[in-house]
Amino acid sequence: MDHILSDVEVRVLGSLIEKEITTPDYYPLSLNSLLTACNQSSNRSPVTHLDEGTVADAADSLREKGLVHRVDKGVSRVIKFRHVVYEALNLGRPAIAVLTVLMLRGPQTLGEIRSRSASLYDFSSLEQIQTTVDALMSGDKPFVARLARQPGQKEVRYTHLLCGDAPPVADNEPEPEPLRQESRLDRLEKEIEDLKRQFAEFRKQFE
């Protein structure tokens, strides 16, 4: 994708995609419905408290970037918004489902993507999700990157790159030397030796 999106634009676009799939009868979305979708507490991380002006500005910016269209619906003349991500990004439904989960939920493991994308696309297996994620990570301009596995985590997580983030560090990159931990251990050992010496001197006083 040629354009870098803001966090608000990602939330607006992700909400439009989600509602187009899960509530087609109420899509496209009016500005008020889009605001509600962006700020809903379920299926969102982090939960936001955006105002109407912020969402309207983000929707207009996405329209200028060719990712959202405005639609005039009926005599009420209420302006509504719909996304055109399939055409603009040339992605299929499985890829869009994965990307939408990452846009609305933040970094996820493969298992989390599978469980949280159930309403967007029926993935048959983790292998299918892995194949989809691998495809999103390929090419000159990847949409997804793998995050480095954090200490204590068994599974890697994946994040979208729509905000122009630099590719995260690979798992095999060596971790920095734990200098602070080692120096603390050295101090503890020294304190123990001092205590042993003081105790030995104390005992000598009663021998």
Residue 116: what pLDDT? 95
Is 1-90 CATH 1.10.10.10?
Answer: yes
CB 30 within 8 A of CB 78: yes
Please give the mean pLDDT across all residues of the chain. 86
Residue 21 has pLDDT above 90, yes or no: yes
* CATH of region 93-175, choose from 1.10.3720.10, 2.70.98.40, 3.30.470.10, 1.10.10.10: 1.10.10.10
Q: How large a percentage of the chain has pLDDT more than 90?
A: 68
pLDDT tops 70 at residue 18? yes
Cα–Cα–Cα angle for 154, 156, 157, rounded to 5 degrees: 130
Distances (CA, A) of 187 to 5, 128, 195, 200: 48, 51, 12, 20
More confident residue, 159 or 200: 159
Tokens linked to 32: 């008020």
R_g of the chain computed on alpha carbons: 25
Strand 78-83 versus strand 144-146 pairing type: unpaired
All structural domains of the chain with their residue ranges: 1-90, 93-175, 176-207
Of the listed ranges 72-81, 94-103, 113-122, 135-144, the one predicted with least confidence? 72-81
- The pTM for the full model equals 0.78
Do the domains 93-175 and 1-90 match in fold? yes
Per-residue confidence at 5, pLDDT binned at 50, 70, 90? very high
Q: How confident is the model at residue 84 (pLDDT cuts 50, 70, 90)?
A: very high
pLDDT band at 78 (very low <50, low <70, confident <90, very high): confident
pLDDT at 14: 98
Q: Which of 54-68, 98-112, 157-171 has the lowest mean pLDDT?
A: 157-171
Q: Answer with the residue of higher pLDDT: 68 or 204.
A: 68
Percent of the chain surpassing pLDDT 70: 79
pLDDT score of 151: 79
